[in-house]
Chain A
Amino acid sequence: MAFWPIALLIAGLGLVAWLAARAKAAAFARAPQRRAHSLPSYHGWYVALWAAIPALLFLLAWTNLSAGLIRQTVLASPEAAALPDFGLRRQAILGEARGLARGDIEQAFQPQARQLAPVYVDAIRFYSLIGLGVAALIGFAGGGWAYTRVAPAFRARTRVERTVMATLLLASLVAVLTTIGIILSLVVEAARFFAAVSPAEFLFGLNWSPQTAIRADQAGSSGAFGAIPLFWGTIFIGAIIAMLVAIPLGLMSAIYLTEYARPVVRRWMKPILEILAGVPTVVYGYFAALTVAPAVRDFGLMLGLPASSESALAAGLVMGIMIIPFVSSMADDSIAAVPQAMRDGSLAMGATTSETIRKVLVPAALPGVVGGVLLAVSRAIGETMIVVMAAGLAANLTLNPFESVTTVTTQIVMLLTGDQEFDSPKTLAAFALGLVLFLVTLALNIIALRVVKKYREAYE
């Protein structure tokens, strides 16, 4: 069914109901005898809700129900008698006919689909009309019933407000549903993967080469799904190289901004660092691949190390730059939260500013800084585009930063782009990797927030 006519129909119905009920309520609101409980517009809303919501609910149910009815009607038609009994061909023909009928595709490869298409068109139109008709009836019935209840003593406002509360609660459930959706989709698909590949092999295997599993009848079709090289690559880039860049630069920037910089400098430099955080990761990835990676490779070759054009160092460096603002803003907050009395106490002993920072402020702010670094690590290991564009695909277990390594997120992208069969272990492996990534980032975040919270409490 087309979206706009239905939306218009329902909205129109609601509007009519609102106007009618408001007019009725306005009439008795003017009457002098007694004050009505609710303002006229609340009566309007009450009736409009009754006119629109049941009709909408019915239509929602009908779209799901009618698909089956349409299918049955089509199969019962004489044109469908010639269809093959079972299997993929039958499904393909039906699918194409439906596509033709709905205008999704312009041409069908199966001749039978072309014959079936008009039947589909008729069936869809028939059931759409029925649906619309019933929806309109329900709308009128609901609106009419509600309209009869409009009276001075009727508590329309209370009813409307109850609906609003229900809507608020419903909206807040979306977050819970999303979380459940994420966990379910990851766990279910990962479970299917672990039915084919043992978890032990996945978690502790040293060999990753899922490429062989493209076709089921190929030799060595099961592929190798040992994810240790991926985990190592992720840690190497996100938790080691990126942090070696981001922690000193971010921390020192924050220290300079909070303890040394004049207010003018602070006012200008903080937004500039924030812009660094706002640059899309695909831009960083492009920057890494186009500018940084060749320079890193040349440098590696100059040192006489084996270096490839996609290297852990290039990706890690750029990721570190991306993370600087996270580290610096967390450090900034933590250092600013150390009470002024600590600074005064140290300065009054004759400590220099840098001694105060190194021996009093940073140790005092350490839990907050550590929490911030954990959040940054979680951010870095979940980051995708930089590593996809600059880290490479080779699952190497290497300590040489000039060599190519691959990461969990890179592999998820590689496994799921292109048109694989959805059930192959290759695509399911992506969900297993996703599950690991989800659990690790979740754990890091929980720990980080605990640490930060404890730290805040210490100074409150």
Chain B
Amino acid sequence: MSDVARTARPPTDWNAAPMQRRIRRRYAAERRFRLLGLAALLLSAGFLVFLLATVATNGLSGFSWMFLTGSDATEPARVGIWGALKGSLLTMAVTFALAFPIGVLTAIYLEEYAPRNRWTDMIEVSINNLAAVPSIIFGLLGLAVFLNFMHLPRSAPLVGGITLALMTMPVIVIAGRNAVKAVPPSIRDAALGVGASRIQVVFHHVLPLALPGILTGTIVGMARALGETAPLLMIGMRAFIASPPGGISDPATVLPVQIFLWSDEASRGFVEKTSAAIVVLLVFLLAMNGIAIYLRNKFERRW
């Protein structure tokens, strides 16, 4: 050891006044930091409360029988939400019918069967990228491909549903893969051991066990699609529709777009109707998320 190592420092005097002052300062900083964190958290939650309270106080007076059963109108007193709600339900039906099977099958393929090669990599990269593409880009895709190239009907839940399905599918795939991955290999081995084929292993054993997780992911994805506005504006679902759509190829509007359209109206009466429509939309979303959380808690399984 050299000289530096040998030279002894006087032992630290922790009770010296400067050291005590320093420690008090450090504790003060600690309290400040902690308070700052709490403030940030409360502020973030406060925004949510404020937003919900604003919407609720503005909107609750807008509810009436007519509002719940009617469609769009030019006068705020006569507008209703049923037309848009039905449009949303039809659109969601199309989205679910496409995104759920495709998403689940893709998840199963990638997790259980896909060979490790460039082709599979391409599928995976596509899915991860699609999950991050801004929603409005899907609207551009819908406009260019479904309306201008394939000539599907404009403003229809059919096209809206397909567009949102392309957006929702990656969410379902990612959730589905995680759910399938969580099923322990021992179950696969057990099934293979009694002579089941690889298809039987998946459809008889893995899929039923992964289903709660897949459903949770699906509901979350569907909730996001239900609240989506921008891509539907692109494919013309912003028309003034005075009667509820009869089918998936009729012109229709959806809840979020209806909110957007009413929010643009100058007439004061639309404020309460817009807020009421938001309340309807949020009730649906909260219900869906509630179901997802319930499913997650009920079926969460630790292997």
Contacts and interface: CB of A to CB of B under 8 A. Distances in A.
A261 B45 CA distance: 15
Interface of A: 157, 161, 164-165, 167-169, 171-176, 178-179, 181-182, 185-186, 188-189, 248-253, 255-257, 259-261, 269, 271-273, 275-276, 278-287, 289-291, 321, 324-325, 328, 352-355, 357-358, 375, 378-379, 381-385, 388-389, 409, 412-413, 416-417, 422, 430-431, 434, 437-438, 441-442, 445, 449
Contact of A437 (B110, B127, B134): B134
B105 A182 contact: no
Nearest to B230: A384
Nearest to B166: A178
Interface in B209-240: 223-224, 226-230, 233-234, 238
A446 B124 CA distance: 13
Contacts of B41: 252-253, 256-257, 261, 269
Contacts of B39: 252
A89 to B, nearest CB: 20
A430 B234 CA distance: 10
A255 B39 CA distance: 12
Given A174-B102, A276-B48, A287-B54, 5 more contacts: A165-B199, A175-B173, A248-B40, A280-B228, A286-B55
Q: Is the interface of B mostly helix, strand, loop or mixed?
A: helix
B159 interface: no
A278 B289 contact: yes
Nearest to B256: A282
Nearest to B49: A272
Contacts of A324: 44, 47
A54 B65 CA distance: 51
Interface string B258-280: 01100100000001001100100
B259 A354 contact: no
Contacts of A176: 122-123, 126
Contacts of A172: 105-106, 109-110, 114, 123
Contacts of A253: 37, 40-41, 44
12 contacts: A176-B122, A253-B40, A255-B37, A283-B278, A286-B278, A381-B134, A412-B136, A413-B136, A416-B143, A416-B233, A431-B140, A445-B129
Contacts of B281: 280, 283
B38 interface: yes
B131 to A, nearest CB: 9
Given A253-B41, A278-B289, A378 B132 contact: yes
A384 B134 contact: yes
A173 B123 contact: yes
A281 B256 CA distance: 9
Contact of B134 (A255, A257, A354, A382): A382
Given A275-B289, A434-B140, A281 B40 contact: no
Contact of B33 (A249, A357, A385): A357
Contacts of A290: 54, 263, 271
A441 B260 contact: no
Contact of B37 (A260, A272, A431): A260
A174 B106 contact: yes
A169 B119 CA distance: 11
Q: Which of A248, A281, A325, A328 has the most CB of B within 10 A?
A: A281
A442 B30 contact: no
Contacts of B148: 422
A276 to B, nearest CB: 5
Interface in B95-140: 101-102, 105-106, 108-110, 113-114, 122-123, 126-130, 132-138, 140
